[in-house]
A and B are shown apart, each in its own frame.
Chain A
């Protein structure tokens, strides 16, 4: 047998990108389960529908770009994008909303920039932001958790068939009215003249339904911790993001508790945990170095608080992440680690050292 000639190292950890992505997919399972449990089949249907679309779009555009379809599809990155988008969408989002979203995410936000690894923005968040701006009605119509629908019944979510017909068929306004409502963030935002304390007592979604969001957030944290443990990402970005959000909201809450929401609320409702562990940790569009990831996370946390409190949109993960995606290259320039044997780290594009 002819001896091969190759460059060192001759050993490789059997650690494929596909493997990493599969771990991420696995880590979303608890959150997905919790969402399905509390908000019904809609989430599951969205995720599956988005996944199918994502694979389809990815394959089509790969073929169009003359790239090896099977080889690239096996990196699972399109699936991760689809799942994250599916989880972020309202559970009863119509099929075409998901379709538009996945198209934007895969074709525009990812492949038009050169495919995996080349996209400056998180594809799922680009799609989410676009949908939120374009279809505000559909995107703000969140499902009410089952606990608020019928306290007597054990699990009174809309049936699978009804959900399917709602998503893929015509919109039945009676069903919509029955099963949808404001999210806690919405509720607290549009509480009229009520103080936060009054809102907590009087608004049903805050008084009765908040537990669902807490549970879902807890499920995402579980997934995140799992990924941390498997060293899929480092702690820097999520911890920095949650930290800055906590610090800011605490400060404001202490000063004016009547007006501002408490930090626990900020951490446990909306997409905070999903954003912290699955969006902010997206390696492609985030800052590179550990130090950079900290700045990146802090930026996201601060923006989330600002947009939630004073901005025009109820949830702010997508905008915060996209804005920080913009700054990532800049952050990279100023957060090089100090290399072994160097007194200090290099900064800027080039030159100083």
Chain B
């Protein structure tokens, strides 16, 4: 006999067992309908094997277990499946869950079944599987799949098997009666369990309030060869709790958060043992169980052998329920059971008791009062917690503290609530707190995942940014190199630079606006019959002229009719010009207003306006000229970038496809042919995009500069080689395996090889072209470039077509790429031709006109600034010093421009420079009109006897000089017009 230990706390609620333990177990009638929830156990719900309308026999499997922790479900009697769907199930929330509903036929026809002749001949695995297939789950309350517990012998040393017969909850007598009547079955079940777990000691724990059951057990056990002890424990709730019973019988505590098997103990319920016996020896699955029907609202309080799935209403009717008195319907015991508000709920494998209580029997809990910390809960807590503290924490949502006070060791036995003098629903608080904490943990987990994702993304973006920056730098370096080399090779004139049509547009718009304002001013002045109309008119005309100029320039720029000329891209200057123009505009408006107000007296102000407008037009002109001088070369970088991205994307896709193919080949599953086709497609795409990219790259560089950066070319070549080798290997591999794609792959290899050859050629040619490093241009590489560019264009075109045919999304982009490539090709061609020409004359073609213009403009600026500075000095303005410095700067600029011009003049000396006749003529005309205007203005001023008249005259002289120059230039250029190349290049 084992000694009995004790556990802390516990209560002695009224037992109320006598009402139902007097009568023997009777079979409940077969109901017309059985509702079988698919989830009657802990774990995954079973998967139905039957359809609506199927006829099933008693004991037939109707749902099979899914996953490790799950059990099967059997038809409790013969009948027809009438429905599979949600029905109310026994759950504290009153929820619905999927059930199989059987219309019974009353024949109770068994499927063919028989027990195992000798279960010991089976392997343990087979026997456990057999028990699992017989739908056995713990019948004590939790419904844990029994087979899982029987596996515990595999990885745990189980030295004690405890059979739980304590049945400590009040009212319930199902196990009591089961033991009294079927102790032999229980022993049989214990033998099976013992065979599987091989414990050294078996303890049956039973409370001392079941003397008949104790006697029956002792009698039965006496004959057993197993080491079984029936241990009678004092009646105290909750001695039937697994952990408490273990403590009672062995003195061992199950560590928090662990399972009993960790301390070498496995617990099984007596009902489970009996079910195992019936399954193993009689071949009967778990289709019925003993249920106590009790409570004051039923007249017959007894135990029934009930088919699983029987609805409560049937059982209550079978027990002569008085529905008028029925107040609370409890499934399970009064301490831990839960209330049902629906009689249609079915009996499941864990239903041990149904209490139909009256109001007097289980009155609603009195209203809760304040906790007075009396500590009675603490005295009865079987888990040795501080329930009152937990209550404070749960109420105050101090979950950290609640956890620290071991909230999760609470077994929710309800002893604390039972004794609480303030009637606080403590267990409810704990359940709520637990649920909240679990929810919080889930949220925390989610937040953690989100944080990790976010950080990974940040890191990725950062990396991309850095890479981008590096790429950008590399490109800038390359561009700088290209620029430098070009400067060397094309003598005085740097050729490549960006154009800024946008800035031009803005300037044009500004000029237009100015024009409008001037017009308005003019018209208004006319209306006011001002004296200075001619002046205004002149100013207006000048503005018009400038606006037209600007428009022309813009259009030219847009058309790409910009000659290769000196000067860096002067967006800044244009902006400044725009800003200046705007300021002037404002001034003009002010002047206009004052003129309107003062009428005749506004001459000065209007003259100011004239001047301002003049200055403005100067500024605008400068902007346009700058823009004009901005080179026509298209920046190849942008296109290449796009193309490169496309190529990278295509490559990635190819890799993915290849991977998928390899995987498929390895596993021999899936549609290999399809995958191969996909790989092919991707390969083609990669090639085409890569080609496009390379073409663009080499084309761009070729057009921009004959000297190519060798490193990337070499890299390309090597990469191409590596690809060829890889592809070759893949093809061979495919061939060996006799795959149908082998042929295709070979073709792909050939293509790649071709590509490699090309890359090699490009590299070599680049090497060659960079080798001579002579300032004179080597025509051969240029031609090669041109040819290559042509080839690229063709290839890219083909690729684009291919992509289009396949409906790839990149097709549009590729087309655009082709267009660009074509542009490059044109450029290359021109470059080649130009080079041819220039090589014939042994000098580069230089457009002198813009250079000259620059020079002249710079000079004009210097003079103007000088005058302004002098003026300031005379007036003793504080800005005079600054202005002088500005003049010096401007003079420096002028000197530079002059040098550039002279150099260009010298370089083009042998042949007459190819000047743009039209531009020259326009210059001349513009100069002329300026002179005329200025002269008119000066005259006007003189007539009026203004003090500025002298100055204006001097300005007229200057302008006249300029005009003469322009005229000369035009005439000079006019003789050589036929020899000059048309300077047109299509940009887009």
Contact = CB atoms under 8 A, between A and B. Distances in A.
A351 interface: yes
Interface string B331-353: 00011111111110000000000
B414 A8 contact: yes
B840 interface: no
A15 interface: yes
Nearest to A335: B386
B329 interface: yes
Contacts of A20: 372, 374, 421
B388 A288 contact: yes
Nearest to A286: B373
B379 A1 contact: no
A339 B383 contact: yes
A278 B110 CA distance: 71
Interface residues of B, number: 79
A346 B406 contact: yes
Nearest to A14: B366
B327 A17 contact: no
B403 interface: yes
Given A2-B341, A10-B334, A288-B386, A117 B371 contact: yes
Contacts of A353: 404, 406
A283 B365 contact: no
Contacts of B418: 9, 11-13
Nearest to A9: B414
Interface string B63-75: 0000000000000
B375 A8 contact: no
A318 to B, nearest CB: 20
A15 B419 contact: yes
B417 interface: yes
Nearest to B258: A341
A81 to B, nearest CB: 12
Interface stretch (B248-256, B281-289, B790-798, B884-892): B248-256
A41 to B, nearest CB: 32
Interface string A12-37: 11011101100000000000000000
A338 B414 contact: no
Contacts of A180: none
Nearest to B363: A12
A283 B417 CA distance: 17
Contacts of B343: 3
B291 interface: no
Interface stretch (B422-430, B544-552, B607-615, B725-733): B422-430
A235 B369 CA distance: 25
Contacts of A19: 421
B336 A8 contact: yes
A9 B326 CA distance: 18
A16 B327 contact: no
B243 interface: yes
Contacts of B423: 12, 16
B955 interface: no
A19 B369 CA distance: 13
Contacts of A4: 327-328, 339, 341, 364
B372 A284 contact: yes
Given A17-B421, A288-B378, A5 B341 contact: yes
A326 to B, nearest CB: 16
A233 B412 CA distance: 24
B431 interface: yes
A10 B386 contact: no
A10 B376 CA distance: 18
B262 to A, nearest CB: 11
Interface residues of A, number: 51
A71 interface: yes
B367 interface: yes
B367 A10 contact: no
Given A7-B431, A8-B427, A1 B327 contact: yes
Give chain B's interface secondary structure class: loop
Contact of A350 (B372, B401, B412, B428): B401
Contacts of B671: none
Interface string A263-300: 00000000000000000000110101110000000000
Contacts of B328: 3-4, 6, 10
Given A7-B431, A11-B334, A350 B386 contact: no
Contacts of B165: none
A234 B380 CA distance: 12
B370 A336 contact: no
Q: Which of B323, B335, B374 has the most CB of A within 10 A?
A: B374
Interface in A314-353: 332, 336-343, 346, 348-351, 353
A3 B362 contact: no
B844 interface: no
Contacts of B364: 4, 6
Contacts of A118: 370
Contacts of B8: 340
B428 A7 contact: yes
Contacts of A348: 404
Contacts of A284: 372-373
Contact of B372 (A9, A11, A116, A343): A116
Interface string B378-407: 110011111011000000000011011110
Contacts of B270: none
A340 B422 CA distance: 26
Given A116-B372, A283-B375, A1 B341 contact: no
| Most B C-beta atoms less than 10 A away, residue of A8, A231, A332 | A8
B409 A340 contact: yes
Contacts of B247: 340
B384 A337 contact: yes
Contacts of A2: 341
B406 A339 contact: yes
Contacts of B419: 13, 15
B13 interface: yes
A8 B7 CA distance: 22
Residue among A6, A9, A346 having the largest count of chain B Cβ atoms under 10 Å? A9
B357 interface: yes
A41 B783 CA distance: 132
A20 B369 CA distance: 13
A338 B253 CA distance: 12
Given A12-B417, A339-B406, A340-B409, A3 B374 contact: no
Nearest to A75: B369
B253 A341 contact: yes
B383 A340 contact: yes
Interface string B518-537: 00000000000000000000
Nearest to B323: A1
B339 A6 contact: yes
Contact of A10 (B256, B341, B357): B357
A46 interface: no
A180 to B, nearest CB: 37
A110 B382 CA distance: 33
Contacts of A283: 372-375
A351 B370 contact: no
Nearest to B297: A1
A211 interface: no
A3 to B, nearest CB: 4
B292 to A, nearest CB: 15
Contacts of A181: none
B335 A10 contact: yes
Contacts of A343: 255
Given A16-B421, A289-B386, A3 B378 contact: no
10 tightest Cβ-Cβ pairs between the two chains A and B = A9-B414, A117-B370, A350-B404, A341-B256, A283-B374, A339-B406, A3-B341, A10-B334, A9-B335, A17-B421
15 contacts: A1-B327, A3-B328, A4-B364, A6-B365, A9-B335, A9-B427, A10-B335, A11-B14, A15-B421, A17-B421, A117-B371, A289-B386, A337-B378, A341-B257, A342-B409
Given A9-B336, A353-B404, 11 more contacts: A4-B364, A6-B328, A10-B328, A10-B334, A11-B13, A20-B421, A115-B370, A117-B371, A233-B375, A283-B373, A336-B405
